[in-house]
A and B are shown apart, each in its own frame.
Chain A
Amino acid sequence: MKAIAALILVLILLLAVYLGVDKGNQQYLFGVIIPYAAIAIFLIGFIYRIVSWTRSTVPFRITTTCGQQKSLDFIKPSKIENPSGLSGVIVRMALEVLLFRSLFRNTKAELKENGKLVYGPDKWLWASALAFHWSFLIIFLRHYRFFAEPVPSFVIGLQSIDGLFQIGVPVLYITSFILLAAVTYLFLRRVFIPQVRYISLMTDYFPLFLILGIAVTGILMRHLFKVDIVNVKELAMGLVVFKPVLPEGGIGFVFYAHLFFVSVLFAYFSFSKLMHLGGVFLSPTRNLANNSRFKRHVNPWNYDVKTHTYEEYEDEFRDVMRNAGLPLEKDK
């Protein structure tokens, strides 16, 4: 039900761009104003969220330790899973951000008929998440060719690796299909794994459909309804230098659908769980070294609390302490 609601929402977006561009001739709105607005909302929203997180304090070192601590010389510490200093934290965070280390640990618990619980490795979520994020990143970087003249060499390099198999004209990019497959898998697991379906919100399905829409329109435009690439670049270059012009001769509807979906994704980003992109760097269980016993850490809001002092304690128990032969501070 929530998945259907999300799908309908994406279809409404598609209808909006269709009516707007094909019927209403609102190319300037969809090609210039909305993209600008989306980027602005994204930048402001993203920065706002990061600043608001960093304004919250980190009173305690609550590292989740996933390996042996650094203690005695003859016991080998796990420098990455339980970092004791900055370099360990950097490697731990790099593995987390670039390779999804924690997700790699994933197991699946299974309760057998005989009442035995067994745990097996489960790498599907890790693999699909990694495939999804990395192909998305490469595709994102590939698009840089529309925004720069001459096209930078790293983009050309990426393109040639991505199109290694030289299938089709224009060449099929591997990442396009990896992205499509990974997003589809991530969607299907939400629907078919009962627990994951139970916890999924409309806002979990919506970005999946939106990204699926972006991927499909992108692939369609490259391989099926070929749009005028020169015109696309003209529009893109104009946007970059803040002198937007709508190219003469126009660009097909599929392009506007693609651009509109991307704009919605950007605009939606900072209001949603997609902010995990920034949040992953700020998680105190991962980005702090486990050094709280050898490096003093100050809580910025540490305040005094009411305690029970030894003097109060001895005052209450002086007689029984004396009778038990315990030494006293004040014996009167």
Chain B
Amino acid sequence: MSEDLPKSEELAKVDYDPPKRDWMDPTVEIRRGNYNYGSNPKSAEYLDMPYVRKFDPKADDWNLPDNWKQIVLEGMRDRIMKYRSFHVFMDVCVRCGACADKCHFFLGSGDPKNMPVLRAELLRSIYRREFTTAGKIMGKMAGARELTPEVIKEWFYYFYQCTECRRCSVFCPYGIDTAEITMMGRELLHLLGIGIDWVTTPAANCFRTGNHLGIQPHGFKDSMDFAADDLKDLTGVDVEVPVNKKGAEVLFVVPSADYFGDPHYFGFLGYLALFHEIGLDYTLSTFASEGGNFGLFHSADMMKRLNAKLYAEAKRLGSKWILGGECGHMWRVLHQYMDTMNGPADFLEAPVSPITGTRFENAKTTKMVHICEFTADLIQNDKVKLDPSRNDHWRVTFHDSCNPARAMGLLDEPRYIMRKVCNHFYEMPENTIREQTFCCGAGSGLGTDENLEMRLRGGFPRGNALRYVQEKHDVNLMACICAIDKATLPALADYWAPGVQIGGLHELVGNALVMKGENRPTDLRSQPYETEEEQKDE
């Protein structure tokens, strides 16, 4: 793959002028580097999906079921009744174009169908034709199109070139949220047995083993033992990592990449060191070994199916409340969907920090607290000793992950922590952070190698902003609080801002944390801290 990849200077030459061809023509060329492979039939079957077959997006004939049109139209009708968002968003767009240059995929590709307005029009044009008077009478004049197999291919291509990041929704005068449109589009495609493997297989793994990576309970236990050994080597402190411990006050849930991925793992060590130091009575779970939820990228039903285990496991273990680690889309599900889908969790208690006594009023019904809220509260109450100079080898910027930013508003908690754990923190330009943050370009299941070119195109705005602080402030670390970010931003940084590393916020917390009885010659990556001499040299 990487050998076909154009150089970054080439990819940055984006042509924003629309083509001559009218957008109503649905023909797409499914290009290498710009799409994801189809679902593995075994995974789809495990999840009881309809019309399971081998699906290759590059094939001419997609073997749609005989009554495919009826399935799609009934699916649309059903969703129009179930989701006011979908219904209203199908009707009220005035095509003002304010969203156009807000999408990272449009900014990186120049493809007009990556303007949020047109991405939605791909569905709207069918909606008008089938469900509105004006569309039925005036047809093309009113923006109505006929549903053909080509349209299905076009939907597939463009609904998997949207990361459901919701940046466009911030700028839309009616709050039209393309994530809703894309989610409906993907649900409709799934009704026809069309999906991508990087969503379907992780979801199937998660359903069976509790986590996307398919790690079985003994493998999970091994990872925890391994992490404890690593921490002992790095800090000289014996740390216990409780697994499936009944009666633990707090159930701690993380995205599975935290204990298997790099650089996630350093942040995971940070959590473990922190919990040890404050003496938190907590447990991890092999069954609830995934907080992330690729069901969100599949369908509402799948999201609910995968999410159900969290409350069930907290109940089985007799925990009082649940603490969640650093992960973007996981927090969208936990914050906006979990209680409604799988609650009420009346067997749990409103979360209270056993260390500070703070009652997390903002999480009193869901009973789930974000690790940044938890840690910020610890720091504010002086319950941990921090030495920010241990992060002096890092000049850090912070990437707001889409979902915590635009589906929660978790903006200042991580910044509060950041300022306490490191001395060199620099913000990227204001149009690229907080609620206006740019996506990594690989969220919502698009973070595959086969899709690398489109990922890097989508990552162009983020890469550009990163390059800016790299040149201006010598930034060498972009911290973030999202597992997909940590998995995919390294490739983005290597391409757009070579030399910048990616790390989790709690890796920095772990570095700065002063532990009792510690002997820490290096940071959590086994790198030496900057010595005083080096600082003087600067």
Contacts and interface: CB of A to CB of B under 8 A. Distances in A.
Nearest to A69: B409
Contacts of A280: 92, 173-174
B209 to A, nearest CB: 8
B70 interface: no
Interface residues of B, number: 121
Contacts of A273: 91-95
Contact of B173 (A69, A102, A195, A327): A102
A282 B180 CA distance: 15
Interface stretch (A23-31, A137-145, A158-166, A302-310): A302-310
Interface stretch (B7-15, B155-163, B229-237): B7-15
Interface in B407-435: 407-413, 416, 429, 431-432, 435
B12 A68 contact: no
Interface string B213-224: 000111001100
Interface residues of A, number: 99
A117 interface: yes
A154 interface: no
Interface stretch (B36-44, B115-123, B263-271, B449-457): B115-123
B343 interface: yes
A306 B47 CA distance: 9
B246 interface: yes
B339 A292 contact: yes
A330 interface: no
A285 B175 contact: yes
A199 B87 contact: no
Nearest to A107: B431
B184 interface: no
Contact of B170 (A64, A72, A308, A321): A64
A57 B83 contact: yes
B51 interface: no
A327 B318 CA distance: 14
A249 B377 CA distance: 80
Interface stretch (B363-371, B475-483, B502-510, B519-527): B363-371
Nearest to B17: A194
A310 B14 contact: no
A160 B413 CA distance: 52
Interface in A287-332: 290, 292-299, 301-302, 305-310, 313, 316-317, 320-321, 323-327, 329
A87 interface: no
Nearest to B208: A308
Interface in A205-238: none
A195 B96 contact: no
B174 A56 contact: no
Interface stretch (A108-116, A172-180, A250-258): A108-116
A125 B286 CA distance: 53
Contacts of B336: 60-63, 292
Nearest to A74: B380
B309 A111 contact: no
Interface stretch (A10-18, A75-83, A239-247): A75-83
Interface string B163-206: 00010011111111100100000000000000000000000000
A211 B129 CA distance: 26
A303 to B, nearest CB: 9
Contact of A109 (B94, B107, B142, B405): B107
B461 interface: yes
Contacts of A323: 218
Interface string B1-31: 0000000110011101110000100000000
A250 B102 CA distance: 54
Nearest to B168: A64
Nearest to A100: B173
B341 A299 contact: yes
A327 B317 CA distance: 11
Given A62-B180, A74-B380, A292-B340, A193 B409 contact: no
A301 B305 contact: no
Nearest to A296: B365
A284 B172 CA distance: 13
A106 interface: yes
Contacts of A272: 134
A245 B221 CA distance: 88
A301 B83 CA distance: 10
Nearest to B405: A65
Contacts of A297: 339-340
Contacts of B101: 107-109, 195
Most buried by A among B80, B133, B335, B380: B335
B170 A66 contact: yes
Nearest to A280: B174
B337 interface: yes
Nearest to B183: A62
B174 A49 contact: no
Contacts of B8: 115
A320 B222 CA distance: 12
Contacts of A203: 134, 138, 141-143
Interface string B90-108: 0111111110111000010
Contacts of A301: 82
B376 interface: yes
Interface in B219-271: 221-222, 243-246
Most buried by B among A59, A68, A69: A69
Contacts of B361: 294
A310 B408 contact: no
Interface in B46-89: 48, 80-89
Interface in B464-478: 464-465, 467-468
Contacts of B13: 115
A65 B216 contact: no
B275 to A, nearest CB: 19
A201 B364 CA distance: 48
Nearest to B361: A294
A200 B118 CA distance: 10
Nearest to B117: A199
A276 B380 contact: no
B316 interface: yes
A127 interface: no
Nearest to B206: A308
6 contacts: A62-B85, A65-B406, A69-B362, A103-B173, A294-B364, A296-B365
Given A57-B81, A108-B101, A293-B366, 14 more contacts: A59-B83, A62-B336, A67-B409, A105-B170, A199-B95, A203-B141, A271-B134, A276-B93, A293-B365, A306-B48, A308-B207, A313-B210, A317-B217, A324-B222
Interface of A: 5, 49, 52-72, 74-78, 81-82, 84, 96, 100, 102-103, 105-109, 111, 115-117, 119, 125, 129, 193-204, 271-273, 275-276, 279-280, 282-286, 290, 292-299, 301-302, 305-310, 313, 316-317, 320-321, 323-327, 329
